[in-house]
Amino acid sequence: MNRAEKEQLFQERVRAFYAALANVFMEEEDRIEVPQIKLKRGDDFNEVVAAMMGAEMAIFKQIAGDTTFDCADMDMVGFTHMLNRIAIQHCFMQDDEPEDESDDDDDRPTLTMMKDEHAADEESSRRADTCYD
């Protein structure tokens, strides 16, 4: 398979994963048909996972928009960094009560980790230090 064919296959997989992810936010009658992704022995699973991440990143950018933080130039590495931060926050702060900072004009979901990035880093680091023997 040449480079152009690999890129085409990658983009087809991104679109398939995107459709599957987008469907969970849609009414049943508006859902997109999701093509099956067939894997064969010897396929590069890294490319499949990268296509999943590409679709997740596209969904994230669509839902979060530009007002949460500047995600226009975010690449996959930046996206995985943000996912790691969210995972750490989820693991270490899931018992904390969320602050009620609702904005009546904006009904999009919020990323609480982005509100005070440095405070979250310090708190996560402090809690992470207590996890080791």
pLDDT of residue 133: 37
Cα–Cα dist 89/66, whole Å = 22
Of the residues 13, 46, 64, which one is the last residue of a structural domain? 64
Q: What is the mean pLDDT of residues 63-80?
A: 75
Of the residues 10, 40, 64, which one is the last residue of a structural domain? 64
Element (H, E) at 118: helix 117-129
Does 58 share its domain with 116?
Answer: no
Of the residues 64, 91, 116, which one is the last residue of a structural domain? 64
Q: pLDDT (tens digit, 9 = 90+) per residue, 72-84?
A: 678 899 999 989 9
Residue 132's pLDDT band, with cuts at 50, 70 and 90, is very low
* Helices 76-93, 117-129: crossing angle, 10 deg rounding: 60
Does 110 share its domain with 86?
Answer: yes
Q: What is the mean pLDDT of residues 16-33?
A: 95
Q: What is the mean pLDDT of residues 78-91?
A: 90
Does 2 share its domain with 52?
Answer: yes
pLDDT of residue 33: 93
- Asked if residue 128 has pLDDT above 50, the reply is no
Does 77 share its domain with 133?
Answer: yes
Domain count, the chain: 2
Query: Is the separation of the CB atoms in 114 and 68 below 8 Å?
Result: yes
Q: What is the mean pLDDT of residues 21-40?
A: 93
- Asked if residue 40 has pLDDT above 60, the reply is yes
Domain around 17: 1-64
